[in-house]
């Protein structure tokens, strides 16, 4: 494979309704040196037939066959990443639509940095559209790339990421406990923030289709949303639980490699919460390593949950 080839990894599941649009948007890319690898996660609709028809028309599209069955999106994307060898990787969802210069702009940004020596990941904004690909709102209004903020809230959407093989090489597939990995893109963002560099392109490269069951309201930080979150904490509670499970995995896999005292402090302390969660234990931790966010209200909200609902974090 050419050293500049981008491996695009797509996991599908009952995606027949929008899949043709997405595949065509990839075929139409101005950057043509790509190869699309698709693994189907047990679809019961026409998804597989659509993939096969496009694979016949374009030799850059390959179907990854296995006997794993339905393993869920996290395991499916990581399986693809483990099986495919390339210098550069992108993830693709089955229901979005890529702007024509998505790959070109991402690869140009990545190559401006030291991608031949360390893990590098770049990501972009997203343009929110409806079922008919209409809409102009941008999803990301604030972004962050430092570990403490990413530790509590991810803003790297996998469908906009491009990363190099140095980042893949840090993923210890054989030791990874997938039950502790909430989403694949968040995990990759954390590993890259620890060992490499993350860069952001402040323009949309993707039409991010929002349809039933794919809500984005939680990205808003207006007062009405914050009040609603006080009475419906499940999303924030799940996010914090994911952070603690991530901490356990990071400590298990990379504890001896953590050079930054700040990162080490967050990982080691939050990794203990599952076994030691209590009012006083959690209070002690947040006084030294408080939750971080670009929004003060979220930091306070997370502190409140950690201290006043400690039983929530008995995750074993």
The tens place of each residue's pLDDT in the chain, 316 residues long, gives 678 899 999 999 999 999 999 999 999 999 999 999 999 999 999 999 999 999 999 999 999 999 999 999 999 999 999 999 999 999 999 999 999 999 999 999 999 998 889 999 999 999 999 999 999 999 999 999 999 999 999 999 999 999 999 999 999 999 999 999 999 999 999 999 999 999 999 999 999 998 654 544 434 445 555 555 555 678 889 999 999 999 999 999 999 999 999 999 999 999 999 999 999 999 999 999 999 999 998 999 999 999 999 999 987 6
Residue that is written with structure tokens 């093989």 in the block? 165
Which pTM does this prediction carry? 0.93
Q: How far apart are the first and last CA of the chain?
A: 44
Q: Which helix (H) or strand (E) holds 276?
A: helix 273-276
DSSP string, 172-222: -TTT--GGG-S-HHHHHHHHHHHHSEEEEEEEEEEEEE--TT---GGG--S
CB 196 within 8 A of CB 264: no
Residue that is written with structure tokens 């969660």 in the block? 277
């Amino acid at each position: 494979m050419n050293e500049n080839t981008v491996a695009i990894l797509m996991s599908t599941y009952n995606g027949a309704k929008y899949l043709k649009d997405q595949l065509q948007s990839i075929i139409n890319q101005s950057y043509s040196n790509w190869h699309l690898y698709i693994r189907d996660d047990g679809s019961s609709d026409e998804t597989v037939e659509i993939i096969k028809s496009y694979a016949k028309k374009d030799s850059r599209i390959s179907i990854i066959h296995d006997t794993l069955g339905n393993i869920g999106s996290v395991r499916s994307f990581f399986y693809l990443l483990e099986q495919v060898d390339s210098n550069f990787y992108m993830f693709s969802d089955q229901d979005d639509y890529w702007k024509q210069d998505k790959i070109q702009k991402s690869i140009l940004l990545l190559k401006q940095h030291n991608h031949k020596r360390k893990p590098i990941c770049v990501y972009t904004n997203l343009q929110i559209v409806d079922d008919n690909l209409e809409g102009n709102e941008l999803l990301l209004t604030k972004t962050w790339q430092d570990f403490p903020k990413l530790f509590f809230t991810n803003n790297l959407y996998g469908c906009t990421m491009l990363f190099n093989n140095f980042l893949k090489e840090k993923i210890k597939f054989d030791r990874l406990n997938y039950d502790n990995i909430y989403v694949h893109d968040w995990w990759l963002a954390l590993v890259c923030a620890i060992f490499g560099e993350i860069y952001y392109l402040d323009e949309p490269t993707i039409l991010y289709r929002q349809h039933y069951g794919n809500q984005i309201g939680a990205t808003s930080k207006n007062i009405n949303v914050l009040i609603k979150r006080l009475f419906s904490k499940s999303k924030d509670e799940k996010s914090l639980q994911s952070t603690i499970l991530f901490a356990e995995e990071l400590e298990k896999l990379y504890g001896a490699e953590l050079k930054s005292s700040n990162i080490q402090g967050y990982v080691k302390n939050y990794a203990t919460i599952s076994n030691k969660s209590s009012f006083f234990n959690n209070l002690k931790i947040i006084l030294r390593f408080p939750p971080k966010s670009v929004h003060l209200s979220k930091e306070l909200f997370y502190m409140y949950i950690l201290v006043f609902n400690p039983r929530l974090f008995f995750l074993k």
